[in-house]
Structure 1
Amino acid sequence: MSLWYVIVGFVFFASILIAKNMKKSDKTKKNLPPGPWTLPIIGNLHQLGTHPHRSMFELSKKYGALMSMKFGSVSTVVASTPETVKEVLKTFDLDCCSRPYMTYPARITYNQNDLVFAPYSKYWREVRKMTVVELYTVKRVQSFRHVREEEVASFVDFIKESASLENPVNFNEKLLKLSGSVICRVGFGINLKGSELENTVDQVIVQTFEVLGSFAAADYFPVIGKLIDRITGLHGKCEKVFKILDSFFDQAIKHHLEDEGIKDDIIDLLLKMEKGEIGLGEYQLTRTHTKGILFNILSAGIDTSAQTVTWVMTHLIKNPRVMKKLQAEIREVIQNKDHITEDDIERLEYLKMVIKEAFRITPLVPLLVPREALRDVKIGGYDVPKKTWIHVNIWAVHMNPSIWKDPEYFIPERFMNNETDYKGLNFDLLPFGSGRRMCPGMAMGVALVHLALINLLYRFDWKLPDGMEPEDVDLLESYGLVCPKKVPLQLIPVLTQWT
């Protein structure tokens, strides 16, 4: 986002030259939500800063729960409270569930042939049904349980070696590789080791979400936007990650076509749909559709699990009281078991509170993927015209002091005797969104989060590198569609009697 200062300066200069040709929009006659004053041409882009979700939250304190903004040529509203978010994601979900065309997400998702960025249509509904019924059922999630347990066991072996050498573990890097190993086996039938992504999975996934979460000039300035993106490097970054991912998909598909013994994984299902052996409503998948769907499985499956565990460990090392209490619970429940399984998760009530609080205070997707109004709709008493982009600011909801007492503090106990959950029904805690566009792979991701955390906290104690104290651990995130910790978390594992 720092490159936006270059963009703003460039476009603001252009605005001086052509502002005299601008005409007043007839939308001023509508009862639009209030919002900050806009500059010619650039609108409110100059007010986004390096962390748009934070900037929008501050602006919403002045302009209200539903706020109008203008990004270049695009009219936008921002929902920032549970009430307005509920109207967008539930009450008027059908009216607000489409997606705008965004240049670089369209490129990476093979022209929006995926689930996340595809506009609302018959095709999207069929893909959504297929993912819910075929890919992310409870039965399928459980069928890959052995994969998660094997990969976590391998990860534990790596940490044991690090502990014996007193080497710090880079959580940002190593957890992306753990999650990548699971997704490669579950979704693609191949091992991460030896694949096109073996040495670059952490950088590629992070860069992909930087591209997907960017406020691209090409989307807001039809004439000169693509030139600006070339100057800032966004276009080049997009092409780089696209080529790497495309090559990985080709490798995984070729592996399946050459080995007929690979059955019952996600690529096998999609290839059968390509051949017409399994139907997708009135559609028959092409290779482009297959790759678009695979992109969602790979990117979302890897990043969300890895970043969740990293953020939980960050909050625990920064809050020794919580760390001690959680480890005590886990070690009391697990006791002297050598083989930890997912069956142990249900008995860990404080662990569930800790994860909820991590989702609240550091939501992985602080700004949900933009929606587009399919028709004129009235939200919060204001007019939202057709084609308006709608941003849902989860960060603002989670940090609202009228909803959460002391929202800036990590207090898992706030969920004690509290039925609030993150499964899309409570509009004050929405890490996975809600409604038609809610993340369908939540159960798959959370299963890995639970298993990884239990092993990390049962088998090892953790300390900061020499010279660091808990208060030195920062909580600043890098901005992208998914927001990772900006400064990588590095902790030194300590062998315990349970290791």
Structure 2
Amino acid sequence: MEFQLSLLCLISTIVIALILWRKQKKTLLPPSPMALPIIGHLHLLSTIPHRDFHKLSIHYGPIMHLFLGSVPCVVASTAEAAKDFLKTHESSFSNRITQTVAIEALTYGFQDFFFAPDGPYWRFMRKLCMSELLGGHMLDQLLPVRQQESKRFIQHLLRKGVAGEAVDFGGELMTLSNNIVSRMTVGHTSTENEKDVEEMRKLVADAAELVGKFNISDFIWFLKRLDLQGFNMRLKQTRDRFDAVLDRIIKQREEERRSNKQTDGTRPFKDMLDVLLDIFEDESSEIKLNKENIKAFILDIFVAGTDTTSLTIEWALSELINHPHVLEKARLEIDAVVGKSRIVEESDIKNLPYLQAIVKETFRLHPPGPLLIRESSTSEVVCGYNIPAKTRLFINIWAIGRDPNQWKNPLEFMPERFIDEDGNVHGEFDVRGQSYHLLPFGTGRRRCPAISLALHVLHVNLAALIQCFQLKVNGGDGKVDMEEKPGLTLPRAHPLICVPVPRLSPFPAI
């Protein structure tokens, strides 16, 4: 009897301790809205989740806890919270989110660079990107490629403008970015292998849509093996098409390399594919690459380097059309520094602080990736809250750019906020990941490795458009709408269609 009483007391003590422990653990989680069975908080989200997260954060604070189906998530909506997650606890939040059907399929089972888990392969590829694939030497070597494609772009718009034809700037900017990335990556020009180049454009658009589209099977655990939305079929078709194009390109390049070795010939310059094939063929390489690594990396570069740059220029043009006084101020700066007898070049950008401020202000209001996504590898206490391992982290870059506690008149497009009293760009707000109030390329070890390339392409082509053309919007009051549509990046809901009226007379020789 005494033993049974002692056992009962012990069991009661354990049960009470477990209840108290669970209650304490629950109180350490960030605030959370009321969840529904099975779907959790999915009912609170629309097709544009960064806006929904922003609205929820107004009620539940800068850090909140959500269940998207069976997936535990935490959302950070201020620069201070982002810094605590991504700097103070960087080692625990260094993995990009990979547990989606689309990413697994399009990265050949996470054999790419962007979504590969932290480890020897990822560290090797990061070092390779910094030193060779996207390093300063490669960018300098490929400057003529960027110049040729930019000139071809301006010539095309000039012909359209002289004829009075309207242009879909989103589509044209996408073609420009795709051509630059294509030539830097696999050496194709706009006229060579046009069929492959056009197919790559379609593949990039399809891949970006599939990665950014909501798939319920990624969030409801007992639906993971079901393809309720037909994702698997589309993914297989996209992967098969991409395989066919890249296999053909790689085979041609390998044959060319063998021929060059036999004749002691060389290519004019090494593009990214050459560098990757060098490592593939090097038996003594620190990490042995396979063909799927190469194809997955190339897809990374195409998706990340095409859509984001073109969209940022498109958003900047939209803001400039709606703010003609800003456009005129930028134009006067370019005319003063560059003149009207030649087209602006990359070397001029350092002397155009107001243009740089326009780009920063565009990044603030229209970040190319509105949500930065990571996953915790270990349990951590962040800002006083318990964040369990395997929790998906959303940093709401879009909301941080609209935080009234950080930005004066946050909804207004004001490049002047980035200019100091001496007319120079504020060094306080760095876009390379040092300022947590402005993170268009992410931060830390997982930040975008192509920052320098993106900034080169973005600044010089935006400057050329400002310098060379008056953009005439047909109909209405001459304004363009600023509505967003769903996507992994931040696409415009409606195309930006304008007539590019030539501004310079005589027009500089191109």
Structure 1 length-normalised TM: 0.90
Q: Please point out which of 476, 479, 497 is paired with 1:468.
A: 476
Q: Which amino acid aligns with 1:482?
A: T
Q: How does 1:288-307 map to 2 (within 5 A)?
A: 288-307=292-311
Using a 3 Å threshold, how does the CA distance of structure 1 residues 498 and 340 change in structure 2: closer, same or farther?
farther
Q: Deviations over 1:391-430 (max 9, x none)?
A: 1110111111111111111111111113212110001011
SS at match of 1:223: helix
Using a 3 Å threshold, how does the CA distance of structure 1 residues 125 and 259 change in structure 2: closer, same or farther?
same
Q: Which amino acid aligns with 2:415?
A: P
Contact 2:207 2:238 in 1 (8 A): yes
Structure 1 alignment gaps of length 5 or more: 1-23
Q: Which amino acid aligns with 2:272?
A: I
Q: Name the counterpart of 2:415.
A: 412
Q: Name the counterpart of 1:40.
A: 37
Q: Name the counterpart of 1:448.
A: 457
How far apart, CA to CA, are the structure 1 residues paired with 2:332 and 2:284? Answer: 50
How far apart, CA to CA, are the structure 2 residues paired with 1:278 and 1:425? Answer: 36
How far residue 252 of structure 1 moved from its aligned partner, in angstroms, is 2.2
Q: Name the counterpart of 1:7.
A: none
Larger radius of gyration: 2
Contact 2:320 2:326 in 1 (8 A): yes
Q: How does 1:153-172 map to 2 (within 5 A)?
A: 153-172=151-170
Q: Please point out which of 422, 426, 429 is paired with 2:431.
A: 422
SS at match of 1:41: coil
Q: Name the counterpart of 1:266.
A: 272
Q: Deviations over 1:372-398 (max 9, x none)?
A: 111111111000011111111101111
Q: Name the counterpart of 2:253.
A: 256
How far apart, CA to CA, are the structure 1 residues paired with 2:212 and 2:385? Answer: 27
Using a 3 Å threshold, how does the CA distance of structure 1 residues 246 and 486 change in structure 2: closer, same or farther?
farther
Q: Name the counterpart of 2:447.
A: 438
SS at match of 2:248: helix
Q: Does 1:212 align with 2:214?
A: no
How far apart, CA to CA, are the structure 2 residues paired with 1:161 and 1:287? Answer: 42
Q: Name the counterpart of 2:16.
A: none
Q: Which amino acid aligns with 1:174?
A: E
* Higher alpha-carbon deviation: 33-42 or 232-241: 232-241
SS at match of 1:255: helix
Q: Please point out which of 468, 476, 487 is paired with 1:480.
A: 487
How far apart, CA to CA, are the structure 2 residues paired with 1:55 and 1:328? Answer: 40
How far residue 246 of structure 1 moved from its aligned partner, in angstroms, is 2.4
Which segments of structure 1 move beyond 3 Å, counting only runs of 4 or more?
26-29, 195-204, 233-237
Structure 2 alignment gaps of length 5 or more: 1-18, 258-265, 421-425
Q: Which amino acid aligns with 1:459?
A: C
Q: Deviations over 1:238-288 (max 9, x none)?
A: 333323322232232122112124452111111121112562x3x200111
How far apart, CA to CA, are the structure 1 residues paired with 2:249 and 2:371? Answer: 32
Q: Does 1:189 align with 2:198?
A: no
* Higher alpha-carbon deviation: 215-224 or 145-154: 215-224
How far residue 29 of structure 1 moved from its aligned partner, in angstroms, is 4.6
How far residue 498 of structure 1 moved from its aligned partner, in angstroms, is 5.2
Using a 3 Å threshold, how does the CA distance of structure 1 residues 256 and 210 change in structure 2: closer, same or farther?
same
SS at match of 2:466: helix
Q: How does 1:20-59 map to 2 (within 5 A)?
A: 29-30=24-25, 31-59=28-56
* Higher alpha-carbon deviation: 47-56 or 132-141: 132-141
Q: Please point out which of 368, 385, 397 is paired with 1:394.
A: 397
Contact 1:189 1:252 in 2 (8 A): no
Q: How does 1:81-480 map to 2 (within 5 A)?
A: 81-100=78-97, 101-193=99-191, 194-227=193-226, 230-260=227-257, 261-262=266-267, 264-276=270-282, 279=285, 281=286, 283-368=287-372, 370-417=373-420, 418-419=426-427, 420-465=429-474, 467-471=475-479, 473-480=480-487
SS at match of 1:118: coil
Using a 3 Å threshold, how does the CA distance of structure 1 residues 333 and 110 change in structure 2: closer, same or farther?
same
How far apart, CA to CA, are the structure 1 residues paired with 2:57 and 2:167? Answer: 39
Q: Which amino acid aligns with 2:381?
A: K
SS at match of 1:301: helix
Name the % identity: 33
How far apart, CA to CA, are the structure 1 residues paired with 2:506 and 2:88? Answer: 50
Structure 2 length-normalised TM: 0.88
SS at match of 1:391: strand
Q: Which amino acid aligns with 1:380?
A: C
How far residue 481 of structure 1 moved from its aligned partner, in angstroms, is 1.6
Q: How many residues align?
A: 468
Q: Name the counterpart of 2:500.
A: 493
How far apart, CA to CA, are the structure 2 residues paired with 1:278 and 1:318? Answer: 57
SS at match of 2:96: coil
How far apart, CA to CA, are the structure 2 residues paired with 1:197 and 1:27? Answer: 57
Q: Deviations over 1:174-206 (max 9, x none)?
A: 111111111111111122442444335554323
